[in-house]
Structure 1
Amino acid sequence: MKIAIFDRDGTLNQLGEEYITRPEEWQAEAGALEAVARLNRAGWHVVVATNQPGLGRGLLDTVSLNAIHAKMLRQLSSQGGRIDAIFYCPHVPDDACSCRKPAPGLLLQIAERYGVEPRELRVVGSNPTHLQAGAAIGAQLHLVCTGLSAQLAPGQPLPSEVPAGTQVHADLQAFADRLLQTAAADVV
């Protein structure tokens, strides 16, 4: 099974002021929804793994989080795409849980649910903590230069918190281009 695990904030959607707490605040990154739809059409399953400490801080509740995700899924559906599942950590850093990235708990849950070896997963995000969680399980790492990494560009040296071996893409469209080109080359 072909699975790409995306971080949400800064990868699929633009970063908010601090936390996105209402559906009106959720705005897709340029080209992100189209990239997911292209991956879906090529047989890829897309799963979201996201830290949502706003829940633990009482800044939003699960009803609001579900409404935000419903908006994301509706917009994605209008582009012909889908997200197969959304996994989230509701904890704050002081909770010291195993699911808050950079801990690998969410990613391990996804691998187990889908019966995929961690090394087969593509872990994609703009936040180094998402990639660190992927590195902890031996996944294939992909940084997109949006959100927290908008100041970076492919070919530039990466900050030390980005795990070694991470591939760098300008955005999700560039990631999808590369993944689909690589898959096509593997078939030939």
Structure 2
Amino acid sequence: MTAWVILDRDGVINYDSPDYIKSLAEWHPIPGSIEAIGRLCAAGFNVAIATNQSGIGRGLYTLENMEAIHHRLGELVDQQGGIIAGIFYCPHLPEDNCLCRKPKIGMLDEIEQQFAISLDKVPFVGDSKRDIDAANAKGCTPILVRTGNGIKTAQTLSANPDYQSVAIYDDLASYVDELLGH
């Protein structure tokens, strides 16, 4: 059986922005994140991404802009000897009340269906409460990183006893170090 890791994109793999990441020129990987994905793949993990991209629904950028970012992400991961198994995204606005926008689990269901796997206990690395809530709702193992919105999220979650068991790491690279036993 192949192991999986699910990643959020903005704030985990690349720097996030309150103004959205609208183009390839605005997309900048967090140091160590691309290498961490390569190391996961080299260790036998499959990596999928589940990302809310409401900027599309807001008309801030096009599907083509997002696909250019994902193409570049794939190229960089490939240069590290890895591959992204799939990138799943929700283009909808929060008020659309779709089933795919995290914290709902539609993207995670889609990953399970496409790859005929169970995500039960699979690590889901995110930087927001939405990611943690989606992971918990699906039965994944929630992992919080302090990059992106992670520091603020950690402060919010620390006050809530329901989130005391969420593991927190400085960034994706430090999580992967521990996962792979480095």
Instruction: Say whether the fold is shared (TM-score over 0.5).
Output: yes
Counting matched residue pairs gives: 180
* Secondary structure of 1:50's aligned partner: strand
Q: What residue number does 1:136 align with? A: 137
The aligned runs of 1:10-159 (5 Å cut-off) are 10-150=11-151, 158-159=158-159
Q: What residue number does 2:167 align with? A: 167
Q: Deviations over 1:88-142 (max 9, x none)?
A: 0010001000100001111111122222223132111111201110100111111
2:162, 2:144 → 1: CA distance?
A: 8
Give the superposition deviation at 1:17. 4.3
Q: What residue number does 1:178 align with? A: 178
Q: What residue number does 1:185 align with? A: none
Equivalent pair of 2:128/2:153 in contact (CA under 8 Å)? no
Answer yes or no: is 1:5 the counterpart of 2:17. no
Equivalent pair of 1:132/1:162 in contact (CA under 8 Å)? no
Q: Write the letter of the residue equivalent to 1:124.
A: V
Q: TM-score, normalised by structure 2?
A: 0.91
Query: Is there any run of 5+ residues in structure 1 with no aligned partner, and where?
Result: 183-188
Q: Percent identity?
A: 36
Equivalent pair of 2:112/2:119 in contact (CA under 8 Å)? yes
Cα distance change of structure 1 residues 159 and 53 upon mapping to structure 2, 3 Å threshold: farther
Query: Is there any run of 5+ residues in structure 2 with no aligned partner, and where?
Result: none
1:12, 1:169 → 2: CA distance?
A: 14
Moved over 6 A (4+): none
Q: Write the letter of the residue equivalent to 1:32.
A: S
Equivalent pair of 1:76/1:82 in contact (CA under 8 Å)? yes
Q: Deviations over 1:144-175 (max 9, x none)?
A: 1110014578xxx7253984431111111111
Q: Deviations over 1:66-104 (max 9, x none)?
A: 011111112222222221110000100010001000011
Q: TM-score, normalised by structure 1?
A: 0.88
* Secondary structure of 2:158's aligned partner: coil
Cα distance change of structure 1 residues 51 and 161 upon mapping to structure 2, 3 Å threshold: farther
